[in-house]
Amino acid sequence: MSTPRNSGTSVVRLVSSTAIIVGVTAMLLFTSSRVESSEPKRPSRGSVNFGAQASPNINIPPALQGFTTVFADVAEKVVPTVVSVVPTKIDTVVFNNNPFYQFFNDQFFGGNPFGDFFGGGRQNRGQQQPQQQPQRQERRQQGLGSGVIVSRDGYILTNSHVVAGANEIEVRTSDGRSFAAVIVGQDSLTDVAVIKITDKVNNLPVAYIGDSDKLRPGDWAVAVGNPFSLTSSVTMGIVSALGRTTGSQGGGVAAYQDFIQTDAAINPGNSGGALVNIKGELIGINTMIYTRSGGNMGIGFAIPINMARRIMEDLIYDGKVSRGWLGVSIQELDQATRDAFGLSADIRGVLIGDVFPGQPADRAGIRRGDVITRIDGKPIETLNQLRNNVAAINPGKTVPAELLRNGRKMTVQVRLTARDESAAAASSDASAGDPQAPQPTDGQLMGMKVSPITRELREQLNLTATLQGVVITEIARGSQAAQEGLRVNDIILEVNRKAVPSMKEFTQATRSVKPGDSVLFLIQRDGSTFFRAFKVRK
């Protein structure tokens, strides 16, 4: 009796399911017919007029008509002269296939791990086991930068940091050609390098080299390069400033800096590319950016082409860069130093903090405390200008140097020599007698204490026996002396241009100093001297 009841239930369920399916199908068909019937009637092709009937009526003055295409015209001429530089560093990696071999030898890997239990293991332990042979594999690491073609036979100007350490270099032109290249020479002090295509070519497009000395802030600037592997990218801006330095001369940053600053977008991969003016003339080699994000922030730097060209020619013709050397330690003229030297605000120049014995400046009669205002006819206002102008003069050439000494103008003739690396190191570091026991001062002068130079101090600080002065033995934290950059073990040689060979002279020279007075110290630190001027605060 239960079976018929179940059959009846199944029949009911089947009928119900069928009804549901039929209802859903009908609903779908009804919906489909409604959708099909709601489609709009499509117009015939070509019957719709798109866009306005006339272009915008923009009144472009006749003088600006040609300007509408000028950047495209510049790009058309410059892009073919800028190449992608692909340096490859090749390393050989030595490794073992089995990383555990050196720890377990062949007891577990290469031998019988069960020998101790089943025999044959212990008696063979004393035998020499075969050593696993190391495997060698070549690892290739590619970079990407830019370069500018400067001769039809394949010389290319780029950055030193782009090709540094490269074992192979590939050059890719904007028209899709690829060439092998070699490094002709590089100069890390200016971040300039020259590479040359090794294949025989004579139909390369060549950049026109302009004159970066004629640039002015506000001039148009166009940057061309390969940022983020986006080849032949063109960006536009202006020359934001000239003669820029990055403030750092180490860690791979060029020591001779005279950068053009531009807001034309420069990004990683642009290094070595072209910076041109609105005439398409090469005025700089893009080299670095200021960034907090890793990308462009509107502050890019390029090496002026006049500097890059001189370095390039030295590398091509001589294989090295020759720089003039003056042999001095130099300082900026700030207001406190002007006051201490009695110089008016309109005086521009660079203060000589030290003269290296036997070097060109010493032989020419230049003295510590002189202010160089012009060299080889070029005005000098900053440390960077003097450093770069001297470096640009060929060693062996005699040039005039105009000075201010004790307020009096004078000119001396200086015969420059080649750069002395050891003396140069001492110069960059600088930019920075009494047998009785130490008798410190009362420490009221700017929060520092000084003492005579004892025999022990001479040995400890490696001071010569003839050096006369007083030594700073203590500087209070947060004092003016600390804020002015004075350090413990600095030797004070002069106060207000008067020698202080002992505590007696130092006390006499500082006894009358009161808040608001200008004070000029001559300091010796690590073997080099420099001036430090300031106004004494309360």
Q: Each residue of 289-299: pLDDT tens digit?
A: 776 666 667 78
Whether 479 is catalytic is no
CA end-to-end distance (rounded Å), the chain: 117
pLDDT tens per residue, range 191-223? 999 999 998 887 899 999 999 999 999 999 999
> Distance between CA 198 and CA 81 in Å, rounded?
17
pTM of the model: 0.67
For the cut 90, the answer to whether the pLDDT of residue 54 exceeds it is no
Q: Is the pLDDT of residue 181 over 90?
A: yes
pLDDT, average across residues 377-390: 89
List CB contacts of 467: < 8 A, sequence separation 6 or more: 433, 453, 458, 491, 524
CA pair distance 286, 159, nearest whole angstrom: 8
Higher pLDDT, 27 or 411: 411
* 199 catalytic residue (yes or no): no
pLDDT value at residue 105: 52
The catalytic position among 84, 271, 518, 528 is 271
Contact criterion met (CB below 8 Å) for 206 and 149: yes
Strands 220-225 and 192-197: unpaired
Q: Which of 161, 427, 434, 451 is catalytic?
A: 161
Confidence of residue 421 (pLDDT cuts 50, 70, 90): low
**Count of beta carbons in the 10 Å neighbourhood of residue 257:** 23
What is the residue-wise DSSP string for 72-93? HHHHHHHGGGEEEEEEEEEEEE
% the chain with pLDDT above 70: 76
Among 357-361, 479-483, 521-525, name the one with the lowest average pLDDT. 479-483
Does 212 qualify as catalytic in the annotation? no
Tell me, what's the pLDDT at 428?
45
Task: State residue 442's pLDDT score.
Answer: 40
What is the C-alpha radius of gyration for the chain, rounded to an integer number of angstroms? 38
Q: What pLDDT is stored for residue 306 in this prediction?
A: 94
Res. 11 pLDDT band, cuts 50 70 90: very low
**What pLDDT sits at residue 333?**
85
Strand boundaries in 390-443, DSSP class E: 398-405, 408-415, 417-418
The residue ranking higher by pLDDT, 209 or 93, is: 209
Task: Please tell me which residue in 187, 191, 370, 376 is annotated as part of the active site.
Answer: 191
Residue 83 in this model has a pLDDT that exceeds 60: yes
Position with higher pLDDT, 375 vs 19: 375
DSSP E strands: which ranges in 124-205?
Answer: 135-142, 145-149, 155-159, 168-172, 178-187, 192-197
DSSP secondary structure string for all residues of 325-351: E--EEEE---HHHHHHHT--TT---EE
Average pLDDT, the chain: 79
Q: Is the pLDDT of residue 286 over 90?
A: yes
Rounded to 5°, angle at Cα 441 from 430 and 339: 50
For residue 38, how many other CB atoms are within 10 A of its CB?
Answer: 7
Residue 36 pLDDT grade (very low, low, confident, very high; cuts 50, 70, 90) = low
Q: pLDDT value at position 407?
A: 82
Contacts of 221 (CB under 8 A, 6+ apart): 236, 237, 238, 239, 260, 262, 264, 275, 276, 277, 283
pLDDT value of position 14 = 42
Q: Is the pLDDT of residue 529 over 70?
A: yes
Question: For 436-474, what is each residue's pLDDT tens digit?
Answer: 333 334 444 678 888 888 887 888 888 888 888 888 888
Grade residue 270 by pLDDT with cuts at 50, 70 and 90: confident
Q: What SS3 class is residue 385?
A: helix
What domains can you pick out in the chain, each with its CATH number? 143-317 (2.40.10.120), 324-430 (2.30.42.10), 448-535 (2.30.42.10)
pLDDT confidence of residue 182: 94
